[in-house]
Amino acid sequence: MSTTGGPPEVGIAASELRRDVSVWGSYMWGYADVGADIYVALGIVALAALGFTPLAFLAAGLVYAMVGLCYAELASAYPVAGGGQYFALRGLGDIWGFVAGAALLLDYTIDIALFTLISFGYFNFFLPAITLGRVHGIDDFIIKVGPSHVRWLWLLETLGGIGVLIVMNVRGIKVSSAFNNFLGVVAIIGQAIIVVAGFSIVWKPDWVVQNFQYYPADLGHFALGSSLAIISFVGLESISQVAQETRRPATIIPRTSIGLILSVLLFALSFSILAAGMVHLGPGPLNGFYGNTGDPVRLIAANIPVIGIVAAPMTALIGGVIVFISANSGVVSASRLTYSMSQFQLLPAWFKRVNKRFATPSRTIIVFSGVAAFQTLLAFFAPAKSVTDNEAINLLTDLYAFGATSGYLLVFVSLIVLRFNDPYTPRPYRMPLNVPVTYRGRTVSFPVLGVLGFIGVAITLSEVVLTHPLGRIAGPAWIVLALIVYFVYRRLRGLPPLGSQPHDWETAQKRVLQEAEEFESLEEYELALAERDGTAGRP
């Protein structure tokens, strides 16, 4: 509990969100978000890392694995909507909780915009004139606005897709989760078919060696490639965002998180190695590999003999579907994040109002999906050097990488701090590699892997800032603008702009465990507090 006098302590209100997410639903929330990233990132990473593309994915994958284990521990210990924002708030205080929330909110809104855009890039395989902007050499679907070449019909498709996501999520997470579950299964089966067929029929290991030898990336391009590869693994946070709507989160979240880490790593590395053994990664052919539609996985499928004629359209359809459900996960995560932030007066209370009919945070769904729509407009109207450039994808991927790595950095700091400052909360799962240390007369498990994860994310964030000209300007600008809003709001409410309000974390934790029906963890927590206070065994 807080020891600060003055204003009343702020805890967690009783949850108005339904616990409708099952073990499979929890896994599919993560897979829908993370599993789709390879469909976006593969061609972009290959453009930068060339023959070192598999190594770039491996480097990013190792960081991702540590991020995933970190979230598995924190989300199972603190099963509250908000994810990384809540962990930073709990461990580091109000302003850092807000900064983490702002960074992740950038990530989620970009997720909605970028993945809806890319999904129609795949769907438009069946209507290539839309994404190429040409019919018989005539620019029917491109209009020139100043220095921009706007693919107006693709833009309208993207905005319409965001509208569909708003309606679906306002109606409820059960509807949204069922949508993820069904289409996610189809996507996993389709990916498995492509990987198995590709390695069995057409993959050539000597091409991998040749690409590695003849098209190596220098240090700068490898840093750019690995920083872009991190977006192949962004989205694990979505599991923790729906922790307050997950049944038995202490049991489910660690299992689904670890399963997700392994499955996504397998597919991401498989696709990158498969591509290196199917496509010469030189500058010329690579232009076709990436393309203007952002559908590199479809091109891999098209190059598989015998089944390619069927695999290409099937992959375009599956790619469009899984990328679209990733955008759906972005809507859920953004709405739950802002719902949590408003609970703790980091944002106005208006954002935490829940729709009485559907029991969903409909206001945040509409507002931040609207932000994503605005980001989509900015991206499509971004200046382009030529009609073939797709600056919309470049701008959104830069911001996506910045938001994710900034938020993850604060989450690792929070993990380390909470190990020392809150040793009483039961942790059904702990990151491996812990060293016992004595702190204030109590033995604490120091997370060695957590420190390594922090270093890995810090390096990745440095790569993002150094190698992404758009991201290093627009990303920090987003954080600064968010902080201005935060300071104004806190001053108007008479709350400390730089300090923290008093929080009754112990009562809040008991309520969360009670609502989650984690009665064993609740009993363990109450016993630990009693031992600390010297009241254990008293009637």
Which residue, 316, 262, 338, 309, is CA-closest to 104?
338
459 vs 455: CA distance, rounded Å? 6
List average pLDDT for each run of 10 residues in the chain, which is 539 residues long: 43 50 66 72 80 90 91 89 88 94 90 88 74 50 72 88 89 62 74 86 87 86 85 72 68 83 87 82 45 61 75 80 82 82 88 77 88 89 60 76 89 95 92 92 91 94 83 88 94 90 90 85 91 69
What pLDDT is recorded for position 473? Answer: 86
* Strand, helix or coil for residue 21: strand
Q: How many residues are there in the chain?
A: 539
pLDDT at residue 38, rounded to an integer: 77
Rounded to the nearest 10 degrees, the angle between the axes of helix 219-229 and helix 37-49 is 180
Secondary structure of residue 93 in the 3-state scheme: coil
130-169 residues labelled b (16+ CB within 10 A) or e (exposed): bbbbeeeeeeebbeeeeeebbbebbbebbbebbeebbebb
**Alpha carbon distance 448, 200 (integer Å):** 40
The CATH number that domain 23-533 falls under is 1.20.1740.10
Q: Tens digits of per-residue pLDDT, 462-515?
A: 988 888 777 788 889 999 999 999 999 999 999 999 888 888 999 989 988 888
pLDDT of residue 289: 46
- DSSP annotation of 15 reads P
Q: Residue 221 has what pLDDT?
A: 85
Instruction: Pick the closest to residue 330 from 390, 254, 399 (CA basis).
Output: 399
Query: Which one, of 19, 140, 27, lies nearest residue 80 by Cα?
Result: 19
Can you tell me which residue has the tokens 């593309």? 53
d(CA 13, CA 520): 22
Q: Residue 13: its pLDDT value, please?
A: 52
DSSP 202: I
- Rounded to two decimals, the pTM is 0.82
Angle at 498 between CA 493 and CA 501, to 5 degrees: 60
Distance CA 522, CA 539 (A): 18
Give the distance between the most distant pair of CA atoms in the chain: 85
DSSP code per residue over 236-261: THHHHHTGGGBSSHHHHHHHHHHHHH
Helices (H), 35-151: 37-49, 53-77, 84-92, 94-123, 128-132
How far is it, in rounded angstroms, from Cα 246 to Cα 337? 15
In the 8-state DSSP scheme, what is residue 179?
H
Centroid of chain to Cα 189: 22
Cα(266)–Cα(451) distance, integer angstroms: 25
Considering only CA atoms, which of 341, 354, 209 is closest in space to residue 281?
A: 209
User: How many C-beta neighbours within 10 Å does residue 111 have?
Assistant: 32
Cβ-based neighbour number of residue 498 at 10 Å: 9
Tokens 């107006």 sit at which residue?
Answer: 152
Name the one residue in this structure whose structure tokens are 């872009």: 228
Distance CA 276, CA 434 (A): 37
**pLDDT at res. 515:** 82
What is the predicted pLDDT for the residue at 422?
Answer: 93
Distance of CA 18 to the CA centre of its chain: 22
pLDDT in tens, 228-276: 888 777 767 767 766 666 667 777 888 888 888 888 888 889 988 988 8
- How far is residue 467's CA from residue 345's CA, in Å, rounded to a whole number? 36
